[in-house]
Amino acid sequence: MAQQGDETRRNGLAIALLLPIVLVNVGVFLYPVLNLLSTSFKEALPGGGIGTEFTWANWSTLVQDRFYMEALLRSVLMSLLITFLTLLCSYPIALYLHRSSGQWRTFLLVLVVSPLLTSAVVRTYGWVAVLADTGLIKNGLEQIGITLPFRLVYNMTGVVIGLTEILMPYMILALLAGFGRLDPRCEEAALTLGARPIQAFWRVVLPLTAPGIALGCLLCFVLAVSSFITPRILGGGRVFLLATEIYDQAIVTLNWPAAGTLSILVLVVFGLSLILYTRALRAFD
C-alpha cells in the first residue's frame, strides 16, 4: 500500500515538473504544426483568412503551377550542389583538425565553431561586402586590372557561395565526429601492409568515415533546402526557392494555406532525404 502511495506521489511530482515544458511544446509547437498541416487543405480567404471547408485546391494549384515546380526543383538541385561543395571544402579542414593536436587544434576548433555563434544575417552581410560589385573581390581584381564580366552576388552564384560557407561548420563538426571513431592505427596498419597514403585513404580512411560524411551531407542538405535569410539577401529577391516562396506567401501575399502547402513540400523533401540517409547508413554497414 505504502509503495503504491509512493508511486502516485512520484508521478504527481513528475507531472507537476513537466507541466511548463508540455504547455510550451504543445501550445507553441505541436498544435501549431498540426494546424499548419490542416491549413494546407483549407481555402484561402483574402487578407490572411482561412476557410473551414476541406479542399484539394491548394495542392492542385501547386502541382499545375510551373513556377512552384521549378522552385522545388531549383531548391533541391541548388541544395545538392551546396552540399557537395560544402563537403569538398570541409573534408580537408576536418582531416587536418583530426591530425593536429593540443592547443593548436583547440584554437582551430574555436575558429571553426565561432561562425556558428555569429548571426546568419551578419555573415550574409559579410558576403555582400566580399562579393558585391564594389566589394572585396571585384574591387581587388580591378586594382590589378582584371574586370569580371559577371556579377558574383544578387544571383544564384552568390547564394551558393554564401550558403556553402555558412554550412561549413556543421559539416566539419559532423565529419570530425566521424573521424573520432577512426582508429589512427588502422591507417598505420594499411601503410605497413604496403598501401601508399592515397590507397590507405581510399581503402581505409574514407570507408570508415563514411557515416560522418553521410550525417554531414544530410545536415547540410536539409539546412540548405530550408534556409531563406541568405538566399533572400544574396539572391537579391531574384532567386526563387521553396523557402523564399513560403515567406512571400505568408508575409507579402498573406496566403497562408498556400504557404502551409509549400511547408509540407519542404517537410516531404526532409523526409525523403532522411530515408535516403538511413538507407546509405545501412549500405555502409
Residues 27-56 that bind other proteins (CB under 8 A): 28-33, 35-36, 39, 48, 50
- Does residue 12 bind other proteins (CB under 8 A)? no
Cβ-contact 54, 36 below 8 angstroms? no
Q: Which of residues 254-273 bind other proteins (CB under 8 A)?
A: 256, 259-260, 263, 266-267, 270
- Does residue 99 bind other proteins (CB under 8 A)? yes
- Does residue 93 bind other proteins (CB under 8 A)? yes
Crossing angle of the two packed helices 66-99 and 156-180, in degrees rounded to 10: 40
| Residue whose C-alpha cell reads 565526429 in the numeric block | 177
Q: Which of residues 123-142 bind other proteins (CB under 8 A)?
A: 123-130, 132, 134-136, 139-140
| Residue whose C-alpha cell reads 522552385 in the numeric block | 71
Write down the least CB distance from residue 112 to other proteins, Å. Answer: 7
- Does residue 2 bind other proteins (CB under 8 A)? no
Give backbone dihedrals phi and psi of 194, rounded to 5 degrees, phi first: 105, 5
- Choose which of 152, 204, 214, 239 interacts with other proteins (CB under 8 A): 204
- Interface map 56-85 toward other proteins (x if CB under 8 A): ------------------------------
CA dist 256 and 246 (Å) reads 9
- Does residue 175 bind other proteins (CB under 8 A)? no
How many of the other CB atoms lie within 10 Å of CB of 11?
10
Cβ-contact 123, 129 below 8 angstroms? no
Write down the least CB distance from residue 22 to other proteins, Å. Answer: 8
In this structure, which amino acid lies at residue 70?
A: E
CA dist 80 and 217 (Å) reads 9
> Nearest 5°: CA angle at 111, between 182 and 123?
120
Of the pair 196, 279, the CB lying nearest other proteins is at 196
- Does residue 282 bind other proteins (CB under 8 A)? no
> By CB under 8 A, which span of 52-60, 61-69, 144-152, 195-203 interacts with other proteins?
195-203
In this structure, which amino acid lies at residue 278?
A: T
- Does residue 148 bind other proteins (CB under 8 A)? no
